Structure 1
Amino acid sequence: MRKLVYYVGTTLDGFIAGPDGADPTGPNGFWPIPEDYVRHIVERYPETLPVQARAALSVTGEGTHFDTVLEGRRSYEIGLKAGVADAYPHLRHLVFSRTLTKSPAPAVELVADDPVDTVRKLKQEDGKDIWLVGGAELAGALYGEIDRLILKVAPLTAGAGIPLFSHKATFDPRSWRRTDCTMLDSGAVVLTYARTTAAVTPAIDG
């Protein structure tokens, strides 16, 4: 069965963007993108590069991990405001929104249905894994459906901003097993965790 993978960049203190929700790696962003960080993505996860970056880096490979990307409306609109209606034309691209009524790009599928129901149906289909790109609201709504975490941890802190999961995530402690760790010379660490079935046992005082 296909897995839902939350593949996302995060600061050391757990933020994926600043308080304004803008792209932290953009022209006015606070998130540096070292050469080895880009090289790692090109070599391991080329399908997660947006169309502009793929063109600039001459990336044409379809990748081996994902064939579907899920995105929330706020995350999608970051690219839309920059003039990019479909950042991932090489993937099946689903955008979850109850306010957008017409897709700005023919290949972008707007989904107004419950994200959990939609993901459970997608998992039953044939294909590669499903990439949850963000943002925090969609990740919070899909918290219980995430099978794998791939965290690109940048060597910086933000202090405040958009967290990995929004308030929509219910309090539900889960155990994760580390399956991979890549340390880059620039300071970033790429951590991969698979969800385990073991329950988290609360600590006992005294």
Structure 2
Amino acid sequence: MRELVYYVAVSLDGFIAGPQDQFDAFLIEGDHMEGINAEFHDAIPTDIAAHLGIPQSAQRFGTVLMGATTYSMGLPDMPSPYRHLEQIVFTHHPLGTAENLRATDEDPVQVVRALKQQPGADIWLCGGAQLAAQLRDEIDRLVLKRQPLLFGDGVPLFAPGSYAPQRLEHVRTVSFESGVSLTEYARRR
């Protein structure tokens, strides 16, 4: 069965973007990039991967889920940022048409449960905090690219809410000279 993987960059103080939704402080150069890109090449925007000569196979991820704010970060430069994947954007507003892109106002939990029953590669939860909070109980893996920076405020990993504590199992941590670490957790079932 397909898994829902929340794969995201996060600051040391737990933010996936700064106070004005900025994410340009995250390190995109350094020794961490080669290892992360080799494993998570499907999570690189299609045009950027092509420019870098990184092949994308849709073997790790076959579908990417985004909230409207996360999707809009690349507009208008990339109206279909991950067109090598099935892209689903959860929004109440029409987005227009783009390759492999579906906008929906359906319940994210129901969409994910249906996707998990289909054959294919895993489902990547790209962001943001509101969508992650809605899908919290559906997340099978949490893969954090911990960045050596502090925002102080901004978009949290999960939107605030009343949650029952959930314990995740540590799978691995890989540390890089750049100060970035990749940490993976799996849900206890």
TM-score range, shorter chain: over 0.9
CA-to-aligned-CA distance 1:71-128 (integer Å, 9 cap, x gap): 11010011114x21011011111111112x2434142111110001111111111111
- Give the corresponding residue for 1:86: 80
- The alpha carbon displacement at 1:155 in A equals 1.2
Partner SS, residue 35 of structure 2: helix
Match of 2:177 among 185, 189, 202: 185
- Greater relative CO (CA pairs within 8 A, separation 6+): 2
Structure 1 SS opposite 2:31: helix
Asked whether the 8 Å contact 1:72–1:135 carries over to 2, the reply is yes
1:51-82, Cα deviation, whole Å (9 max, x unpaired): 2320221112315311110011010011114x
Measured in 2, the distance between the counterparts of 1:32 and 1:58 equals: 20
Aligned partner of 1:17 in structure 2 is: 17
Report if aligned partners of 1:69, 1:130 keep a CA contact under 8 Å in 2: yes
Q: Per-residue displacement from partner, 1:4-63 (whole Å, max 9, x unpaired)?
A: 0000000111000011113x1xxxx22222322221222111100012320221112315
Q: Would you identify which runs of 4 or more consecutive aligned residues in structure 1 move more than 3 Å?
A: none
Q: TM-score, normalised by structure 1?
A: 0.87
Q: Does 1:56 align with 2:51?
A: yes
RMSD between aligned alpha carbons? 1.4
Moved more, 72-81 or 57-66: 57-66
Q: Which residue of 1 aligns with 2:60?
A: 65
Q: Give me the whole-angstrom Cα distance separating, in 2, the residues matched to 1:121 and 1:32.
A: 35
Give the secondary-structure state (helix, strand or coil) at the position aligned to 1:40.
Answer: helix
CA 1:133–1:102: 2 relative to 1, 3 Å: closer
Q: How does 1:135-154 map to 2 (within 5 A)?
A: 135-154=128-147
Q: Of the two, which has the highest radius of gyration?
A: 1
Q: Could you give the per-residue CA deviations for residues 161-203 of structure 1, whole angstroms, max 9, x where no partner exists?
A: 1000113x53121011111211111111100000114xxxxxx
TM-score (norm 2): 0.94
Q: Which amino acid aligns with 1:180?
A: R
Matches of 2:108 and 2:42 in 1, distance apart? 22
